[in-house]
Amino acid sequence: MSSKYSQDTEQLNQYRRDWIDENEKMKTRTYAEWIDMYSSYRQHENKCAKIDYDDDKSWVEESGETYDEPFIIPYDNIYPSNPDTEEGKKYMRCLKEYIKDTKGSHKFNKPQSLGITPTQGYVGSQTIKRSEDVTTEPDEKWDNMITYLNESPPDIAEESIKRYLRTPLFSSMLKVHDQGGTPGKYIRIGGKWIKEEY
């Protein structure tokens, strides 16, 4: 029986794989396929609107009052009409907005592990100080990154590291700054990149 931790890790990795799959589909999705998605979205919104309406109506009527509000369906037409008509033009405008919003939402939901930036250095699970009398706790943010790299599917972990290695800051290896951190350089100790602070 797998642990809750390993189940959570597998769910996270599945989310990453699904995000990558959807990202690839977006590159080749045709307008017909976008219309199918948008039509499903409109049907879903109509169903949700009816459920909300029924809930409001039953709540009002249970209190002994009469519910006079008519049900207004959000989308009368699920599928596109003739694009030359005013209604068809409006549908196409809404479809383009739906595509834009869907792509924006997808980008916003990008797993952090697929977006390693130059300002988030891969520094291993410990930080060493030049001054021997100063001890520091490992930075949890970097520990999490190492945990991710160790537990991710090999292809995702490899791509994340390759993306980071391509950054100009990493190639220079000198005076790299992390977010809100102190300047320093990276050295390799025991197979890990460690940030040596000044």
Residue 128 is predicted with a pLDDT of 42
Contact 134, 178 (CB under 8 A): no
Is the per-residue pLDDT at 63 higher than 80? yes
Residues 120 and 185 in one domain: yes
Q: Distance between CA 139 and CA 127 in Å, rounded? A: 8
pTM for this prediction: 0.53
Which ranges constitute the DSSP H helices of the chain?
4-28, 31-62, 86-108, 140-151, 154-165, 168-172
Q: Which of 67, 94, 110 is the last residue of a domain?
A: 110
Q: Distance between CA 44 and CA 95 in Å, rounded? A: 15
68-94: pLDDT as tens digits: 999 999 998 898 888 889 989 999 999
Residue 180 is predicted with a pLDDT of 44
**Model confidence band, residue 109 (pLDDT cutoffs 50, 70, 90):** confident
The pLDDT of 2-27, averaged and rounded, is 81
User: What's the farthest any 2 CA atoms get from each other in the chain?
Assistant: 78
The pLDDT of 48-67, averaged and rounded, is 93
Q: Distance between CA 195 and CA 198 in Å, rounded? A: 10
The pLDDT of 1-28, averaged and rounded, is 80
The pLDDT of 138-143, averaged and rounded, is 62
Q: Which residues make Cβ contacts (< 8 Å) with residue 192, sequence separation at least 6?
A: 124, 125, 126, 146
Residue-wise over 135-156: b if at least 16 C-beta within 10 A, else e? Answer: eeeebeebeebbebbeebeeeb
Q: Which of 110, 135, 158 is the last residue of a domain?
A: 110
Count structural domains, the chain: 2
Residues 127 and 92 in one domain: no
> Regarding predicted confidence, which is higher, 98 or 169?
98
Q: Distance between CA 163 and CA 115 in Å, rounded? A: 9
How many alpha carbons lie under 13 Å from residue 98 in its C-beta half-sphere?
17
Residues 146 and 173 in one domain: yes
Domain that holds residue 163: 114-197
Q: Which residues pair with 168 in a beta bridge?
A: none
Is the per-residue pLDDT at 137 higher than 70? no
| Residue percentage of the chain with pLDDT more than 90 | 33
Whole-number average pLDDT of the chain = 74
Is the per-residue pLDDT at 1 higher than 80? no
Query: Which of 17-31, 123-137, 163-177, 182-196 is predicted with the least confidence, judged by mean pLDDT?
Result: 123-137
Residue 59 is predicted with a pLDDT of 92
Q: Which residues pair with 195 in a beta bridge?
A: 127, 186
Q: Which of 81, 110, 139 is the last residue of a domain?
A: 110
State the burial class of residue 46 (Cβ atoms within 10 Å of its Cβ: 0-12, 13-18, 19+): middle
